[in-house]
Amino acid sequence: MTNSNVKTARYWQTLLAGLWRENPTLRLLLGMCPTLAVTAAVKPALTMGCCVIFVLICSNIIVSLMRNLLKPHLRILMFTLTIAAFVTIADLLLKAFQPEMSETLGPYVPLIIVNCIIICRAEACASKNGLVISIIDAVGMGVGFTLTLCVLASIRELLATGAIFEIQILTLAKDGGWFVQWAAMGMPVGAFLTLGLMLGLVNIVTRKKS
Protein backbone atom coordinates (compact mmCIF):
# COMPACT_ATOMS: atom_id res chain seq x y z
CA MET A 1 0.00 0.00 0.00
CA THR A 2 2.54 2.54 1.15
CA ASN A 3 4.93 1.56 -1.64
CA SER A 4 2.48 2.55 -4.38
CA ASN A 5 1.68 5.77 -2.50
CA VAL A 6 5.35 6.68 -2.46
CA LYS A 7 5.52 5.88 -6.16
CA THR A 8 2.52 8.07 -7.02
CA ALA A 9 3.94 10.90 -4.95
CA ARG A 10 7.22 10.59 -6.82
CA TYR A 11 5.42 10.66 -10.16
CA TRP A 12 3.57 13.84 -9.23
CA GLN A 13 6.77 15.44 -8.00
CA THR A 14 8.57 14.65 -11.25
CA LEU A 15 5.69 16.02 -13.29
CA LEU A 16 5.40 19.26 -11.36
CA ALA A 17 9.16 19.79 -11.29
CA GLY A 18 9.22 20.34 -15.02
CA LEU A 19 6.44 22.87 -14.77
CA TRP A 20 7.92 25.28 -12.27
CA ARG A 21 10.69 24.29 -9.90
CA GLU A 22 12.96 23.00 -12.64
CA ASN A 23 11.34 24.74 -15.58
CA PRO A 24 13.83 24.18 -18.40
CA THR A 25 13.79 27.70 -19.80
CA LEU A 26 13.26 29.82 -16.74
CA ARG A 27 15.24 27.96 -14.11
CA LEU A 28 17.63 25.62 -15.86
CA LEU A 29 18.30 28.12 -18.66
CA LEU A 30 18.28 25.46 -21.35
CA GLY A 31 16.92 25.70 -24.87
CA MET A 32 17.23 29.46 -25.24
CA CYS A 33 17.61 29.44 -29.03
CA PRO A 34 14.10 28.31 -29.97
CA THR A 35 12.63 30.33 -27.09
CA LEU A 36 13.83 33.52 -28.70
CA ALA A 37 13.25 32.52 -32.28
CA VAL A 38 9.69 31.20 -32.39
CA THR A 39 7.96 33.36 -29.80
CA ALA A 40 7.06 36.19 -32.15
CA ALA A 41 3.51 34.83 -32.21
CA VAL A 42 1.60 32.26 -30.18
CA LYS A 43 0.80 29.84 -33.00
CA PRO A 44 4.44 29.02 -33.92
CA ALA A 45 5.33 28.87 -30.22
CA LEU A 46 2.60 26.31 -29.58
CA THR A 47 3.63 24.27 -32.61
CA MET A 48 7.26 24.26 -31.54
CA GLY A 49 6.23 23.27 -28.01
CA CYS A 50 4.24 20.32 -29.30
CA CYS A 51 7.15 19.18 -31.47
CA VAL A 52 9.50 19.34 -28.50
CA ILE A 53 7.07 17.35 -26.35
CA PHE A 54 6.81 14.71 -29.05
CA VAL A 55 10.58 14.40 -29.49
CA LEU A 56 11.20 14.46 -25.72
CA ILE A 57 8.74 11.66 -25.03
CA CYS A 58 9.97 9.47 -27.88
CA SER A 59 13.64 9.94 -27.14
CA ASN A 60 13.19 9.45 -23.39
CA ILE A 61 11.34 6.20 -24.07
CA ILE A 62 14.06 4.87 -26.36
CA VAL A 63 16.93 5.99 -24.14
CA SER A 64 15.27 4.54 -21.06
CA LEU A 65 14.76 1.22 -22.80
CA MET A 66 18.38 1.20 -23.91
CA ARG A 67 19.87 2.45 -20.68
CA ASN A 68 21.42 -0.81 -19.63
CA LEU A 69 23.14 -1.31 -22.95
CA LEU A 70 24.81 2.06 -23.15
CA LYS A 71 28.50 2.37 -22.48
CA PRO A 72 30.14 5.69 -21.60
CA HIS A 73 31.95 6.33 -24.87
CA LEU A 74 29.06 6.03 -27.25
CA ARG A 75 26.41 7.53 -25.01
CA ILE A 76 26.27 11.01 -26.45
CA LEU A 77 26.40 9.73 -29.99
CA MET A 78 23.48 7.37 -29.33
CA PHE A 79 21.44 10.16 -27.77
CA THR A 80 22.14 12.43 -30.69
CA LEU A 81 21.25 9.77 -33.24
CA THR A 82 17.97 8.98 -31.48
CA ILE A 83 17.02 12.62 -31.21
CA ALA A 84 17.96 13.33 -34.83
CA ALA A 85 15.78 10.45 -36.04
CA PHE A 86 12.73 11.62 -34.10
CA VAL A 87 13.22 15.25 -35.11
CA THR A 88 13.27 14.15 -38.76
CA ILE A 89 9.98 12.34 -38.20
CA ALA A 90 8.49 15.35 -36.40
CA ASP A 91 9.59 17.59 -39.27
CA LEU A 92 7.95 15.30 -41.83
CA LEU A 93 4.72 15.21 -39.81
CA LEU A 94 4.74 18.99 -39.57
CA LYS A 95 5.35 19.41 -43.31
CA ALA A 96 2.47 17.05 -44.05
CA PHE A 97 -0.15 18.30 -41.63
CA GLN A 98 0.77 21.91 -40.89
CA PRO A 99 2.64 23.25 -43.93
CA GLU A 100 2.27 26.97 -43.08
CA MET A 101 3.67 26.43 -39.59
CA SER A 102 6.48 24.35 -41.05
CA GLU A 103 7.42 27.31 -43.24
CA THR A 104 7.20 29.84 -40.43
CA LEU A 105 9.35 27.74 -38.12
CA GLY A 106 11.74 26.95 -40.94
CA PRO A 107 15.16 25.74 -39.81
CA TYR A 108 14.27 25.91 -36.11
CA VAL A 109 12.53 22.54 -36.19
CA PRO A 110 15.73 20.62 -37.03
CA LEU A 111 17.50 22.76 -34.46
CA ILE A 112 15.54 20.84 -31.84
CA ILE A 113 18.27 18.23 -32.32
CA VAL A 114 20.78 20.43 -30.56
CA ASN A 115 18.25 21.76 -28.11
CA CYS A 116 20.00 21.37 -24.77
CA ILE A 117 16.76 20.39 -23.02
CA ILE A 118 16.38 17.07 -24.80
CA ILE A 119 19.97 15.95 -24.50
CA CYS A 120 20.13 17.05 -20.85
CA ARG A 121 16.98 15.19 -19.92
CA ALA A 122 18.17 12.10 -21.75
CA GLU A 123 21.44 12.30 -19.88
CA ALA A 124 20.15 13.31 -16.46
CA CYS A 125 16.92 11.37 -16.26
CA ALA A 126 16.15 8.84 -18.96
CA SER A 127 19.49 7.07 -18.89
CA LYS A 128 19.17 6.47 -15.17
CA ASN A 129 15.50 5.81 -14.56
CA GLY A 130 12.79 3.43 -15.56
CA LEU A 131 10.31 3.87 -18.37
CA VAL A 132 7.43 5.45 -16.45
CA ILE A 133 9.53 8.08 -14.69
CA SER A 134 11.22 8.97 -17.95
CA ILE A 135 7.91 9.48 -19.72
CA ILE A 136 6.53 11.60 -16.88
CA ASP A 137 9.68 13.67 -16.78
CA ALA A 138 9.46 14.21 -20.52
CA VAL A 139 5.84 15.32 -20.27
CA GLY A 140 6.60 17.63 -17.36
CA MET A 141 9.58 19.29 -18.99
CA GLY A 142 7.83 19.50 -22.35
CA VAL A 143 4.68 21.08 -20.95
CA GLY A 144 6.74 23.48 -18.83
CA PHE A 145 8.70 24.51 -21.90
CA THR A 146 5.54 24.93 -23.99
CA LEU A 147 3.82 27.03 -21.33
CA THR A 148 6.84 29.31 -21.03
CA LEU A 149 6.99 29.71 -24.78
CA CYS A 150 3.28 30.55 -24.95
CA VAL A 151 3.46 33.13 -22.18
CA LEU A 152 6.44 34.80 -23.82
CA ALA A 153 4.78 34.65 -27.23
CA SER A 154 1.52 36.13 -25.92
CA ILE A 155 3.34 39.13 -24.49
CA ARG A 156 5.30 39.68 -27.69
CA GLU A 157 2.40 39.13 -30.04
CA LEU A 158 0.06 41.33 -28.02
CA LEU A 159 2.49 44.22 -28.00
CA ALA A 160 3.58 43.76 -31.60
CA THR A 161 0.24 43.23 -33.29
CA GLY A 162 -2.46 43.68 -30.66
CA ALA A 163 -3.63 40.11 -31.22
CA ILE A 164 -3.09 36.80 -29.47
CA PHE A 165 -3.30 33.65 -31.59
CA GLU A 166 -4.41 35.97 -34.39
CA ILE A 167 -7.51 37.01 -32.46
CA GLN A 168 -7.50 40.78 -32.33
CA ILE A 169 -7.73 42.05 -28.75
CA LEU A 170 -6.49 45.61 -28.89
CA THR A 171 -7.78 47.86 -31.66
CA LEU A 172 -4.87 49.14 -33.68
CA ALA A 173 -4.36 52.83 -34.34
CA LYS A 174 -4.33 52.29 -38.07
CA ASP A 175 -7.77 50.67 -37.83
CA GLY A 176 -9.14 53.56 -35.83
CA GLY A 177 -8.29 52.37 -32.35
CA TRP A 178 -5.89 53.61 -29.72
CA PHE A 179 -3.08 51.05 -29.68
CA VAL A 180 0.09 51.89 -31.58
CA GLN A 181 2.03 48.74 -32.38
CA TRP A 182 5.42 48.13 -30.81
CA ALA A 183 7.10 46.85 -33.93
CA ALA A 184 10.29 46.14 -32.00
CA MET A 185 8.60 43.33 -30.14
CA GLY A 186 8.39 41.28 -33.28
CA MET A 187 12.11 41.59 -33.88
CA PRO A 188 15.18 40.14 -32.17
CA VAL A 189 15.39 43.12 -29.79
CA GLY A 190 12.00 42.39 -28.35
CA ALA A 191 12.82 38.73 -27.94
CA PHE A 192 15.97 39.30 -25.91
CA LEU A 193 14.46 42.05 -23.79
CA THR A 194 11.25 40.18 -22.99
CA LEU A 195 13.07 37.01 -22.03
CA GLY A 196 15.57 38.93 -19.91
CA LEU A 197 12.84 40.78 -18.06
CA MET A 198 10.86 37.60 -17.58
CA LEU A 199 13.89 35.87 -16.06
CA GLY A 200 14.35 38.85 -13.79
CA LEU A 201 10.72 38.54 -12.71
CA VAL A 202 11.17 34.84 -12.00
CA ASN A 203 14.20 35.66 -9.87
CA ILE A 204 12.18 38.14 -7.82
CA VAL A 205 9.41 35.59 -7.25
CA THR A 206 11.75 32.78 -6.27
CA ARG A 207 13.80 34.98 -4.01
CA LYS A 208 10.73 36.15 -2.14
CA LYS A 209 9.74 32.52 -1.54
CA SER A 210 13.10 31.57 -0.07
Partner 1 sequence: MQQSWLLIVASFCFGLLIAVTNAALSPKIRQNEINKRNRMVTILLPEAKDFILLDEPVEIKSLQGRIEKVEIYKAMSMAGECVGWSFEATGSGFADKIKLVIALDKNFESIAGINVLASNETPGFGDQIKYDYYRGQFKGAPAGELKLVTIGERGKIDSEIVAISGATISSEAVVEIVSNSVTQIKEQMRKKGIIGNDKQ
Partner 2 sequence: MDTLNIVLMGFISVVLINNLVFTKFLGTCPYLGVSGRIDMAFGMGMAVTFVVTLSGTLTWMIDNWILMKLGLEVTRYVCFIVVIAGAVQLVEMYLRKFFPLLYESFGIFLPLITTNCVILGLCLFLSVWMVDNLLDAAVRSFGAGIGFTMAICIMAGIRENLNLADVPDCLKGAPITLITAGLLAMAFMGFAGMIR
For partner 2, the binding residues (CB under 8 A) are: 29-34, 36-37, 76-77, 80-81, 84-85, 87-88, 91-92, 106-107, 110-111, 113-114, 116, 119, 184, 187-193, 195-197, 199-201, 203-204, 207
Give 70: exposed, middle or buried? Use CB within 10 Å, 0-12, 13-18, 19+: middle
Decide which of partner 1, partner 2, none touches 113; Cβ closer than 5 to 8 Å per partner kind: partner 2
Decide which of partner 2, partner 1, none touches 78; Cβ closer than 5 to 8 Å per partner kind: partner 1
Please report whether residue 71 would count as binding partner 1 according to CB under 8 A: yes
Percent of the chain that is helix, strand, coil (3-state, to 5): 80, 5, 20
Decide which of partner 2, partner 1, none touches 74; Cβ closer than 5 to 8 Å per partner kind: partner 1
Question: Shortest Cβ distance from residue 84 to partner 1 (Å)?
Answer: 8
Decide which of partner 2, partner 1, none touches 178; Cβ closer than 5 to 8 Å per partner kind: none
Closer residue to partner 2 in complex, CB, 65/187: 187
Contacts with 141 (C-beta within 8 Å, 6 or more apart), sequence order: 18, 22, 24, 56, 117, 121
Question: Shortest Cβ distance from residue 175 to partner 2 (Å)?
Answer: 27
Please report whether residue 73 would count as binding partner 1 according to CB under 8 A: yes
Give 81: exposed, middle or buried? Use CB within 10 Å, 0-12, 13-18, 19+: middle
Contacts with 165 (C-beta within 8 Å, 6 or more apart), sequence order: 41, 42, 43, 157
SS3 (DSSP) at 149: helix
Q: Cβ distance 86 to 16 under 8 Å?
A: no
- Indicate the length of the chain as a whole number: 210
Binding site for partner 1 (CB under 8 A): 66, 69-71, 73-74, 77-78, 81-82, 85, 88-89, 92-93, 95-97, 99, 103, 160-161, 181, 183, 186-187
